[in-house]
Amino acid sequence: MVAVSRNLNQSTLDKWDADHAWHPFTQSSERGFAPPLQIEKGEGHWLFDLNGNRYFDGTASMWTNVRGHGNPSLDNALREQLDYLAHSTFLGHGHPTATLLSRKLAEISPSALEVAFFTDNGSCAVEVALKMSFQFWQLIGRPEKQKVVAMEGAYHGDTFGAMSVGGGGFFAERFRPWCFEVEHFPAPLCLESSGIIHQEDSTSSLDALQLLLDREGDKIAALVLEPSVQGAAGMKQQPSGFLQAVAQLCQKADVHLILDEVFVGFGRLGEMLVCSDEGVQPDFLCLAKGLTGGYLPLAATMTTSEVYAAFSGAYHEHKALYHGHTFTANPLAAAVALRNVEMLEEDLAQGLVAEGTKAFGYYLNKTLAKHPNVREVRQRGLACCLDLCPDKDNSNAFPVTRRAGLEVCMEARARGVLLRPLGNSIPLVPPILVRPDELEFLCHVLRDSLDANFAKEQKS
């Protein structure tokens, strides 16, 4: 093992990790109960810790992984690029790989989205879309269009702009005083239904949006939305036709539509992009996570030639977009992304993702939907979330102090599956090209973990 050959052992690494490494979204006081693993190796859809224990990657390494770890084609794309160039700035210069990738992204995006602006992560892809929209209206002589609209429950990332458009919740709560004002409209209603079938009603949501746009459309620059599924809200779904209705309202009110496909893009919901599948042309499209197959940090904000052209002007006019990151369009990340997107086009054409989606639904239904401690299972494509409950027959929720989600995830870890809870809910987000037998394993392990955890409670 690499680490052992460097004379490092588990306890040394644990100590150094505890002393020096700050883990995101992680309460350090829980180290005793949920000690961070040292993941040393990845192979296919599995991760291996320092002691050689293997775990199914049930979060797709935070919703990024498409075709597994150590994929030979992606590895080769990275190695081949390394023979040419690891990094050179994209500020004022280009390099062939990112140029090819920008063309490929324009090809897979709805036809009007022809230009790619690269950053390193999903939050920045959203920040850039917001800044582009804001500046665009100034540049075309409508500086009064400054407001932003987003949907309740939204999560768009952790930078300040992304937090501002986020739809509440405790993630960003402490930072609210530093965030800018955003109008949030209600999400489609989720009608309670037990089991796996979930219904939504968008009437009140669309009515509220229409009112807002009628009232303030003249002052609104953009509306930002996670199309089809709000991931971090717990895979909350929108009914079919909702996205098109929102797009039409935005178009009528002359408000930019920013679609955040950071989570749902690149096969997660069964197609390359949700907007293309639904025939919707946004003004900005934010991409990240699955773009590189989960290998390297890279994000893109796609926009139209019209928006791009508005930023063109004489040198002294300062119309250029003054936003950029040191590692923007990193060639290594771009090379892996290009290969990943090309391969994903073939996988989708062969129906591989559709097969996985069907198998996922089958095993969720068979093993988890009727479990007494599962209130509801929401699945679309390879995105799923289940809500835990003390008892299916009443609406009581577990108190936060019960740490129900965390405890179930620890049970799953002991059985060889890595998951991360969202409070009392558990998202299941496997790598996109997951195999049916792996989905069966994932669902069975989760059912056994629920049984083990809640049986303990009944005894106590």
Ligand X SMILES: Cc1ncc(COP(=O)(O)O)c(C=O)c1O
* Binding site residues, ligand X, CB under 6 A: 63, 121-123, 126, 155-157, 226, 231-232, 260, 262-263, 288
Minimal distance, residue 300 CB to ligand X, in Å: 12
Cα–Cα–Cα angle for 372, 232, 169, rounded to 5 degrees:
95
Q: Please, which residues bridge with residue 185 across strands?
A: 151
Minimum distance of ligand X from residue 210's CB (angstroms): 24
Of 133, 109, 90, which is closest to residue 223 (Cα–Cα)?
Answer: 133
DSSP string, 173-184: HTTGGGSPP-EE
- Nearer to ligand X by Cβ, of 63 and 136: the residue is 63
Q: How far is the CB of 123 from ligand X (least distance, A)?
A: 3
Q: How far is the CB of 155 from ligand X (least distance, A)?
A: 6
When the beta carbons of 162 and 247 are compared against ligand X, the nearer one is 162
State which residue, 190 or 369, has the beta carbon closest to ligand X. Answer: 190
If the CB atoms of residues 113 and 300 are measured against ligand X, the closer one turns out to be 300
Nearer to ligand X, 389 or 419 (CB): 419
C-alpha–C-alpha distance, residues 209 and 203, integer Å: 10
Of 222 and 445, nearer to ligand X (C-beta) is 222
Q: Which is nearer to ligand X, 101 or 232 (CB)?
A: 232
Largest CA distance in the chain: 75
Give min distance, CB of 125 to ligand X, in A.
Answer: 7
Q: How many CA atoms lie within 13 A of 146 on its CB side?
A: 5
Concatenating the DSSP letter of every residue in 292-308 gives GTTSS--EEEEEEHHHH
Token representation of residue 328 = 């923007």
Question: Among 444, 435, 434, 429, which Cα is nearest to 60's?
Answer: 429
C-alpha 416/C-alpha 10 separation (Å) is 19
- Least separation in angstroms between residue 288's CB and ligand X is 5
∠ at Cα 275 (269, 278), nearest 5°? 85
Q: Is 282 exposed, middle or buried (0-12, 13-18, 19+ CB in 10 A)?
A: buried
Q: How far is the CB of 121 from ligand X (least distance, A)?
A: 3
* C-beta of residue 233 within 8 angstroms of C-beta of residue 383: no
Give the residue closest to ligand X by C-beta. 122
